[in-house]
Amino acid sequence: MTSAVDDSGVSDGGLDAPEAVSALLRAAGEPARLTILQHLFEGPHRVRDLVEHLGLAQSTVSAHVACLRECGLVEARPVGRAVEYRLAHPDLVRGLLDATLRLLDATGFAVLECASVPAARAVR
């Protein structure tokens, strides 16, 4: 289940893999994970740094980082006794977030009124 890429390097958008697209959007779209991704645009962070930024428990942040890493969105690099996390594909993640904001603008943020979509929990 991979998306097709034509000779010009343009993908079909993964339309042959709706489960994978849905899973990626759920992984990146969870509010705490989305906030972590946004912080990683500033540069590498340790879990400890992210805990300070998000105000969440260390175990919670670690679990979110592990999910993002397992999904291929974040990569780890040992630095002494600590581990720094960074975006694995910053340009692609930025493109995804930018496209999402453009789509929200184009739809007038209608998703916020959709009864079938649960409301997101805010991260401080």
Whichever domain contains 84, its CATH number is 1.10.10.10
**pTM greater than the 0.85 cutoff:** no
* 110 is a domain residue: no
Secondary element (H or E) of residue 90: helix 90-106
Q: What is the DSSP letter of 67?
A: H
* 44 is a domain residue: yes
* 47 is a domain residue: yes
Report pLDDT digits (tens) over 33-50. Answer: 999 999 999 999 999 999
Secondary element (H or E) of residue 101: helix 90-106
* 102 is a domain residue: no
* 8 is a domain residue: no
Report pLDDT digits (tens) over 3-33. Answer: 555 554 456 555 678 899 999 999 999 999 9
* 9 is a domain residue: no
Q: Specify the number of domains making up the chain.
A: 1
Give the residue numbers spanning the domain of 46.
18-88
Q: How far apart are CA 110 and CA 30, in angstroms?
A: 18
Does the structure show a pLDDT above 80 at 122?
A: no
Q: What is the mean pLDDT of residues 108-122?
A: 86
